[in-house]
Amino acid sequence: MAEVWTVLKILEWTGEYLEKHGVAGGRREAEILLADLLGLNRVGLYLNFDRPLDAGELDRFRERVRRRARREPVQYILGRTEFWSLPLVVGPAVLIPRPDTEVLVEEALRRAPDARAVLDVGTGSGAIAVALSSELPEAVVEGIDLSPEALEVARENGRRNGLDERLRFSAGEMKRLPAGPYDLIVANPPYIPRADLAGLMPEVREHEPRIALDGGEDGLDCYRLLAAGAMDRLGAGGWLLLEVGIDQAAEVERLLRQGGFQETFRRADYSGIPRVVGGRAPGENRGGPRREEV
């Protein structure tokens, strides 16, 4: 007689199994994976603890557990995540958006609430561009990335959130930014020093795209490019806002000042870590081009 696996039984087994494979909070992650597979929320899962899983459900769930035990991120297994309370698709072609990056969006909206022309450099999943577009209905938001696969993900996220008419995603790189002029340029560039990559968690080191992580020898390669090249792409009074890694804020702010930016600042995330550095181009901000003028 085949063994009966109820929801509760398989959650208990899976939680212990994932913990043995180095996954912290194994029980919670087992609940997330199973609830998604069964089309339930976590409360619904608790109300169905005695429900047996059929053979097909067991097979699909076991495959998810095998992937998680290999330290593949839950977001890639599910194929989705949330950022700025917006649903996003994600996959191995893009970095998984982090809650810390929402501080960059907050600061962008505070510094440039009337922006009409916005550029997101290294857009990846399009998380920042989608969030800003959702909050700035009069703005044209452009996102550029080197990866064709990442751009496809970003376009899908624009479509899923009903913003594809206001969003433009195209191939581009930091060495040659689009001409603009922009009221606001934002970026969450690669900032991990190359020597530190090997010490990252397996979920990041082995599954997220290296191109989105590797910031060069000291982690600051992209900041040097942006500090030197963004000024010519900003309109008068336009803002450049950048997410930074731990212990990088002071040096990035110095680079912005060296590049001629004024009113430079640092903003901490909600853990108290300096997370956003920004500066303003000289001159009076006149609001940028209206959408019909772009």
Judgement on whether residues 65 and 184 belong to the same structural domain of the protein: no
Residues 141 and 273 occupy one common structural domain: yes
Strand 140-145, strand 117-121: pairing: parallel
Q: Could you tell me the mean pLDDT of each successive run of 10 residues in the chain, 294 residues long? A: 85 96 94 96 92 95 97 96 97 95 97 96 97 96 96 97 93 91 97 94 94 93 95 96 96 96 96 96 61 32
Point out the domain boundary residue: 70, 89, 106.
70
Residue 2 lies in a domain: no
Model pLDDT, residue 56 = 95
In a shared domain, residues 165 and 52: no
Please tell me the predicted confidence (pLDDT) of residue 3.
81
pLDDT number for residue 2: 63
- Same structural domain, 47 and 87: no
Token pair, residue 255, equals 């680079």
167 and 194 in a single domain? The answer is yes
Residues 162 and 88 in one domain: yes
- Residue 52 lies in domain: 7-70
Please indicate, yes or no, if residue 75 is contained in any of the structural domains: no
Q: Which of 81, 78, 83, 43 is nearest to 64 (CA)?
A: 78
Residues 163 and 261 reside in one and the same domain: yes
How many separate domains does the chain show? 2
1 in any annotated domain: no
Does residue 118 belong to any structural domain of this protein?
yes
Q: How far apart are CA 192 and CA 210, in angstroms?
A: 10
Task: Clarify whether residues 66 and 145 are in a common domain.
Answer: no
Question: What is the predicted pLDDT for the residue at 165?
Answer: 86
Q: What is the pLDDT of residue 55?
A: 93
Same domain, 258 and 126: yes
- My answer on whether omega of the bond before 113 falls inside 30° of 0, hence cis, is no
